[in-house]
Structure 1
Amino acid sequence: MAVVGAGIAGISTATFLAEEGHDVVLLEANQVARQTTGHTTAKVTVAHGLIYDYLINTFGEEKARLYADANNTALDEMATRVDEQNIDCHFTRASAYTYVPSAEKRKKVEKEVDAAQRLGLDASFVTDVPAPVDATAAIRYDGQAHFHPRKYLLSLLNSFEQRGGQVYEDTRVTDIQTGSPHRLQTDSGRVVADDVVVATHYPFYKRLLYSMRTLPGQEHIITANTDGEPPEDLYYSAGSQSHSFRPIPTDDGTMLLVEGRKHPTGLGGDTMDLTRKIESFATSNFPVEEITYRWSAQDYMTMDRVPYIGTISPFSESVYVVTGFSAWGMTHGTVAGLLLADLIGGRENKWEQLYDPNRVPPMKSMKRLPKAGTNMIKQFLTGHRNLRDGETAPYLPPGEGKVVKIDGETLGLYRNDEGDWHAVSGTCTYSGCTLTWNAAGESWDCPCDGSRYTVEGAVFDGPAQEDLQRRDVSVRQS
C-alpha cells in the first residue's frame, strides 16, 4: 500500500500499518515532517476552542462524544509512545486554557464546560488564568501536552523503516489511476498499490469533490525570547481576533510562541501588519526581549468543522483521504492513523461515520454556509481578479513582493534583501487563479485552493503539482 504525504497524518498512518505487518511505501513531494507539520504550533490537546457545545447542538451528543473520545485517545496514544519508546521530543504535560477577555462571552465558556463534562472530558470552569492576559472566564483541561513534532515523527519513521517501510522524499505523486491494483504516477516513476492514502494536507486527487467543502485559512506565528520563563501552559483566546501561546523548550532556554490573526488565504491584506499586531500582543503582555522567528501556517477548514478521514469518494474503494483539520492537526493526525489502520485492516471503528468524507452535513451546520459561502466567493473573486496592465513595475523595497501585470502577463515580482529581483508567473499552476503576496510567510499564495510557492516559485504547500515558471524580465521601476 502507498501513503502519499509525510506529515503527522501520513507518517502516523504508514507507521501504524507497518507495525501491523503491512507492506507500505511512504511518498513525500518534499522532505518528511517539514511542511505543514513542520510549521505547526504543536499543541497536543482535546481543547479545540469552543467546539463541544457546537458539536452537541449540531451532531448530537453521541457523535460529539465520539469526537472527544477520538482526540483523547490520540493524546493517550502519543503520550504512551513517547514514554514506552523513550522518544526525546520535549513532550511536556501542561494544562490547556481556552479563555475569553470579556464578561459578555462568559456564558459561552460556561456552556462549553458543561458540554465537555457531559462528554466525559476532564474540564473545569475558572475565572482566572496563570498568565498575564485579560481573562474573565476560561475552560481548563488538565493533562494536555506540547512537543517537538519533527523529533517525534522521526522516531515513528525509524519504527516504520525497521518494519520494512520504505520512504521516498522529493517524489511528487501527480496522478492516481484506480484499479486492481492502483497505479500512482510520480515524477520519478510509477508505484503500484492495493490501497492508497492521500494525506497531502489538501487532496490533489478528486479535488473537485473537496474544493467546495474545504476552505484554506492562515494564521501568523512568532517566537520570542523573554525576560524570565514564559507561562508553562497552553492558551487560546476564543473570538474573532484570537491568539494562542505556549512555551517552546530549546537547548538554549525556553522561548514563547504566539500565533493569531486567522484569515482566509489570500484575504488577509497586509500580512506583515497582522504579524506586527501579534508582536504587539506579545510585547504588551510579556517581557519580550527579542523576536526570534516569524512564519505563516495554513490549514483547511471543513463546512461542519469536523475533518474528513476515510474513503475519498463513494466510488473510489481502497483510496482514502485525510484533510480539513481546522488547525487541530496534532491529535487529528494521530486519529487519522488509528482510524485508517482499522479501515484498511478490515476492522470496524466507532469513529468512522463521524469522520466519513462522504457524509451528509447535519442540517444545523447549514447555518455556517452563508459565511463560508461568502468567504468562498471572496476567495474566488480574489483569485480571478483582473489586474491592470502596466509598463513598469511598482517600486518595491528589498524584502517585498507584489503580483503585477506587465505586457499582458501576470507576474510575481520579488526583490530580495540584496536588491536583486526574482520574477515568476503570477498564476497558480493548479487552479489558474491569480496569486497574492504573503509578506509574513514570504510566499506566493493562491486564494482559490491554498497552494503556496516560495519566492523562486517552488511549490511547498497545497494541491499544486507544478512549480511556477521563472521569468527573465527587465524591471523598470515606476
Structure 2
Amino acid sequence: MAIETSGSPLPDRAMSYWVDSTDQPSYPRLTDAIEADVAVVGGGIAGISTAAFLAEAGRDVALLEADEVLRGTTGHTTAKVTVGHGLRYQYLIDTFGERTARLYAESNRTALEAVTRRVRREGIDCEFTPAAAYAYALSEDRREAIQREADAARRLGLAASYVEDVPAPVDAAAAVRYADQAHFHPREYLLALLETFEREGGRVYEHSRVTGIETGSPHVLRTRDGRVGADDVVVASHFPFYRRSLYTKRMLPHQEHVLAADVEGEPPEDMYVSVGPDTHSFRPVPTGEGPMLLVDGHRHPTGIGEDTMALTRQIESWTTETFPVEAVTYRWTVQDYETIDRVPYVGSIDPFADGVYVATGFGGWGATHGTVAGLLLRDLILGRENAWAELYDPNRLPTAALKGLPGAGRTMLKQRAKGKRSLSGGERAPDLRPGEGQVVNLHGRTLGLYREDVDTWRAVEGTCPYGGCTLVWNGAGESWDCPCDGSRFTVDGSVVDGPAQEGLGRVPLAVTRRDERVAREAR
C-alpha cells in the first residue's frame, strides 16, 4: 500500500535510510553479574562515544542497550556535523554572556574536529563529506537577526559569514554561512567506533534494559537477568531513566518528520536549515547509486499538533515544489529533547549521586553534542579539568530555566485534561484503514486501537504508564505518543523513548466484520 500525496506516493511504512542501508550487529543479553570500571547505559552517539573514549583511555567499560544499538534517535537523525545550530549564538551571548557562549562554540567546533580526525585517521567509510552549513531566512524582516547572528558567531571564533545569496533553489533573503562543516552516515561512523571500543576491551550488551541503579561503592545497575557493578555510571539513554523526575519539567520533547528522495541531477552540495516559522532543513546523502536529498521539517511538540501524516505530506509537497523529485524513497520521524535554556545537560546527574553522570537534551544537534558529551564525560571520569563542565552542568538553574518551568507544567496539566475529553466512545471500532491507529474509549476503557490489515486489529492500554496522560497515535512515526512527557511506544506497546520504563498492556480484542463491533473481550 502506498499513501497518495500531491506528488509521488510516500512509502507505506516508516523506515530510516540509515538503518535500512546498514547491517545490524548482534550483541549478547546481559545474563550474569559482571564488574567494570564504568557502565554506560545507551547505545546511541553519546553512549558509544563516551564508552569508546574511556576504553581508549584504558578504562574497562560495559555498554548496555535496552533494545538494539543505533536504532533510536541516532539511527534517525539528519546527521549534520556542524557548529551551525540555527540562530543560537546571539541568544547564548544575551542569555549567558560572551564567555559562556564562547565555550559552547568551542566545544562544538572541537567535536567537529574530533570526528573529522577520527574518520581520516582510521579510514572510516561513512560517507563523510565536507560541506558548508547555511542558516537562512526567507523574509526581509529577518535580515538584521541573520546579520547579528553572523557577527556573534565570528566574535566567538567561528568561521561564519553573512551572505544574501545561497546556492540552493530557495528564495533566501539572507543567511549565515559556516565554512568547513560536514555530514556523514551516522550508523557507519558509530559502527566503526563500536569496533574500536571492542578492540580496546569494551563489552556490549543488547536487550539489557537497566531498571535501576543502587548507588554505592561500587554502584550496582540491575537488568532483568543480570547486574553490573561499576565505579562510575553514565546514563546516555536519550531521556534519563534514573532520577527521571528531575528532568521531565526541564526538557521539552519535540519531533520532526524526514523524507529521503531521489532527484533529477545533483542535489545542492551543502546543508541548509531555515529559521523562523515553517522550518525546513535539507542536505544531500551520498549513496552507491547516486546522491539522494534528505529533507525534514515541521518541528512540533510530541503528541501535540496536527496529524503527523498530514505534516509529512506537507513536507513532501514542499520538497516536490522546490526540487525535481523523481521518487520519495524513505520517510521517518525523529524525536529529541531540548532543555529549557537550549544547552544540553552533560555531567553529574544530580548533586547527591557521586559518580553517576548524564548526557541528554541535545535539541536536534546530536551529531556534535553527542561527541561533546563523550569528550566531557571522559574528562570528568578521568579527573581531568575541562572548561566546558560549568556550561553543560545539569544542576545549573539559570534565569531562562526558571521562566520556562511554569509553562512546562501547564502544558502537562492541559494535555492530561484534554486527552480524556476528546476521546470517541462506544462499542464500535473507529473507521480505520490498514496501518492506522486511534486512541478511543471502548466499553468505558481507554485503548490504543491499531488496524494492521483488513482482518487484524491490535489493542493496547491507551494511557501513558509514566504520567497518566492519554496517548496520541503518531501515523508518521507509527507509535503511540504521550503529549505530556514525550514517552513513545510501538504498535504493540513496547517502550521506544521517554521517561516511561514500562510498556503498554496488551488487550485481547475481537472485531466483527459486519459492523466493526468490538467484542466484549476488550473489557
TM-score normalised over the length of structure 2: 0.89
Establish whether residue 326 from structure 1 lines up as the match of residue 338 from structure 2: no
Count of matched residue pairs: 477
Establish whether residue 209 from structure 1 lines up as the match of residue 252 from structure 2: no
Give the superposition deviation at 1:388.
5.0
> Per the alignment, do residues 340 and 380 of structure 1 end up closer, same or farther by CA in structure 2, a change over 3 Å counting?
farther
After alignment, is 446-455 or 309-318 more displaced?
446-455
Match of 1:392 in 2: 428
Establish whether residue 314 from structure 1 lines up as the match of residue 334 from structure 2: no
The partner residue of 2:104 within 67, 77, 99 is 67
Contact 1:398 1:419 in 2 (8 A): no
Per-residue CA deviation, residues 366-394 of structure 1 (Å, 9 max, x unaligned), is 55567655545444445665745422221
Contact 1:200 1:463 in 2 (8 A): no
In 1, Cα distance between equivalents of 2:129 and 2:334: 22
> Per the alignment, do residues 339 and 251 of structure 1 end up closer, same or farther by CA in structure 2, a change over 3 Å counting?
same
In 1, Cα distance between equivalents of 2:167 and 2:383: 47
Match of 2:451 in 1: 415
> Per the alignment, do residues 56 and 381 of structure 1 end up closer, same or farther by CA in structure 2, a change over 3 Å counting?
farther
Per-residue CA deviation, residues 434-476 of structure 1 (Å, 9 max, x unaligned), is 1110011111111122121111222222232222222111225
What is the DSSP-based 3-state SS (H/G/I as helix, E as strand, rest coil) of the residue aligned with 2:102? helix
In 2, Cα distance between equivalents of 1:127 and 1:368: 34
Contact 2:340 2:400 in 1 (8 A): no
Give the superposition deviation at 1:408.
2.1
Match of 1:401 in 2: 437
One-letter code aligned to 1:181: P
Match of 1:282 in 2: 319
Give the superposition deviation at 1:199.
0.3
One-letter code aligned to 1:455: V
In 2, Cα distance between equivalents of 1:112 and 1:382: 39
Contact 2:264 2:324 in 1 (8 A): yes
> Per the alignment, do residues 383 and 449 of structure 1 end up closer, same or farther by CA in structure 2, a change over 3 Å counting?
farther
Match of 2:296 in 1: 259
Give the superposition deviation at 1:241.
1.3
Give the superposition deviation at 1:294.
1.1
In 1, Cα distance between equivalents of 2:403 and 2:351: 26
Establish whether residue 106 from structure 1 lines up as the match of residue 170 from structure 2: no
One-letter code aligned to 1:301: E
In 1, Cα distance between equivalents of 2:182 and 2:114: 12
In 1, Cα distance between equivalents of 2:472 and 2:334: 16
One-letter code aligned to 2:383: G
Give the superposition deviation at 1:32.
0.9
Establish whether residue 474 from structure 1 lines up as the match of residue 510 from structure 2: yes
Match of 2:26 in 1: none
Establish whether residue 24 from structure 1 lines up as the match of residue 57 from structure 2: no
One-letter code aligned to 2:450: Y
- Superposition map of 1:352-391 within 5 A: 352-361=389-398, 363=399, 372=408, 375-382=411-418, 387=423, 389-391=425-427
What is the DSSP-based 3-state SS (H/G/I as helix, E as strand, rest coil) of the residue aligned with 1:183? strand
> Per the alignment, do residues 169 and 150 of structure 1 end up closer, same or farther by CA in structure 2, a change over 3 Å counting?
same
After alignment, is 228-237 or 431-440 more displaced?
431-440
In 1, Cα distance between equivalents of 2:246 and 2:493: 27
Give the superposition deviation at 1:276.
0.7
> Per the alignment, do residues 468 and 364 of structure 1 end up closer, same or farther by CA in structure 2, a change over 3 Å counting?
closer
Per-residue CA deviation, residues 70-116 of structure 1 (Å, 9 max, x unaligned), is 00000000000000000000000000000000001111000100100
In 1, Cα distance between equivalents of 2:224 and 2:129: 40
One-letter code aligned to 2:478: E
Match of 2:114 in 1: 77
In 2, Cα distance between equivalents of 1:288 and 1:233: 18
In 2, Cα distance between equivalents of 1:366 and 1:467: 32
In 1, Cα distance between equivalents of 2:182 and 2:298: 23
> Per the alignment, do residues 380 and 322 of structure 1 end up closer, same or farther by CA in structure 2, a change over 3 Å counting?
farther
Establish whether residue 196 from structure 1 lines up as the match of residue 233 from structure 2: yes
Which ranges of structure 2 fall in alignment gaps of 5 or more residues?
A: 1-37, 518-523
In 2, Cα distance between equivalents of 1:150 and 1:310: 25
Match of 1:41 in 2: 78
In 1, Cα distance between equivalents of 2:342 and 2:412: 15
Match of 2:274 in 1: 237
In 1, Cα distance between equivalents of 2:413 and 2:143: 33
> Per the alignment, do residues 464 and 55 of structure 1 end up closer, same or farther by CA in structure 2, a change over 3 Å counting?
same
What is the DSSP-based 3-state SS (H/G/I as helix, E as strand, rest coil) of the residue aligned with 2:311? helix
Contact 1:435 1:446 in 2 (8 A): yes
In 1, Cα distance between equivalents of 2:359 and 2:421: 31
Contact 1:382 1:447 in 2 (8 A): no
Match of 1:426 in 2: 462
The partner residue of 1:95 within 132, 142, 147 is 132
In 2, Cα distance between equivalents of 1:223 and 1:374: 36
Contact 1:388 1:405 in 2 (8 A): yes
What is the DSSP-based 3-state SS (H/G/I as helix, E as strand, rest coil) of the residue aligned with 1:432? coil
What is the DSSP-based 3-state SS (H/G/I as helix, E as strand, rest coil) of the residue aligned with 1:195? strand
Per-residue CA deviation, residues 284-339 of structure 1 (Å, 9 max, x unaligned), is 10001111111110000111000000000010110001111110111000000000
Match of 2:488 in 1: 452
In 2, Cα distance between equivalents of 1:407 and 1:232: 56
In 1, Cα distance between equivalents of 2:404 and 2:171: 29
In 2, Cα distance between equivalents of 1:20 and 1:153: 18
- Superposition map of 1:69-218 within 5 A: 69-218=106-255
After alignment, is 414-423 or 276-285 more displaced?
414-423
One-letter code aligned to 1:136: A
Contact 1:96 1:235 in 2 (8 A): yes
Contact 1:310 1:321 in 2 (8 A): yes
Contact 2:303 2:472 in 1 (8 A): yes
What is the DSSP-based 3-state SS (H/G/I as helix, E as strand, rest coil) of the residue aligned with 2:286? strand
What is the DSSP-based 3-state SS (H/G/I as helix, E as strand, rest coil) of the residue aligned with 1:245? strand
In 2, Cα distance between equivalents of 1:406 and 1:23: 52
In 2, Cα distance between equivalents of 1:233 and 1:382: 42
- Superposition CA RMSD, Å: 1.6
After alignment, is 308-317 or 381-390 more displaced?
381-390
One-letter code aligned to 1:390: G
Establish whether residue 442 from structure 1 lines up as the match of residue 478 from structure 2: yes
Which ranges of structure 1 fall in alignment gaps of 5 or more residues?
A: none
In 2, Cα distance between equivalents of 1:310 and 1:380: 32
Give the superposition deviation at 1:251.
1.4
In 2, Cα distance between equivalents of 1:386 and 1:317: 45
One-letter code aligned to 2:477: G
Contact 1:266 1:379 in 2 (8 A): no
What is the DSSP-based 3-state SS (H/G/I as helix, E as strand, rest coil) of the residue aligned with 2:358? strand
